[in-house]
Structure formats: C-alpha cells, structure tokens
Amino acid sequence: MNLELKQLLEAEDFATFDVILAGGGAYQVRNPGLCAMGDTTIMMVRAKSERKDILRLSLIGAIEILEPD
C-alpha cells in the first residue's frame, strides 16, 4: 500500500484519488503537492485552509483512483 501511494503521488500524469481509512473515513487527494509522505505517516494539507491531517499509513484500508470528470 505504501509503495502504491508513493507512486501515485510521484506520477507525472497525476490522477485524483481517495485514501480510504480502515475505519471508514476518506480523504480526497487532488494535488500531490499538498501531501508529504514519511515512513509511517502521510500529512495532507487541505487546499485553501491552514488545516492539515496526519494519518498513519497502517490505517489506510484502500486507495481508489477517481475517473476524470
């Protein structure tokens, strides 16, 4: 899962995707520049906000690539 997430964030042809937590929550990633990935966590900064979320990678249940509109 960690490798897949890293590849999605570093892809030249970035596609929007959802990070779905094992507990049921979800985060949409629209801009890879607003994410920073560490060894055990990922930090996601919300666009147009000063809020950021730090998630443990071990709590990610799935990654779902979204189809373009």
pLDDT recorded at residue 69: 66
List residues bridging with 26 in a β-sheet.
20
Instruction: Inform me whether the pLDDT recorded for 5 exceeds 90.
Output: yes
Residues 6+ apart with CB under 8 A from 35: 9, 29, 42, 43, 44, 45
CA pair distance 22, 33, nearest whole angstrom = 24
Q: For 10-66, how does the pLDDT look when each residue is reduced to its tens digit (9 = 90+)?
A: 999 999 999 999 999 999 999 999 999 999 999 999 888 889 999 999 999 999 999
> What is the CATH number for 21?
2.30.30.100
The number of domains in the chain is 1
Judge whether 5 and 60 are in contact, CB under 8 Å: yes
Q: Are 14 and 23 in contact (CB under 8 A)?
A: no
State the pTM of this model.
0.87
What range defines the domain where residue 23 resides? 2-65
d(CA 46, CA 64): 19
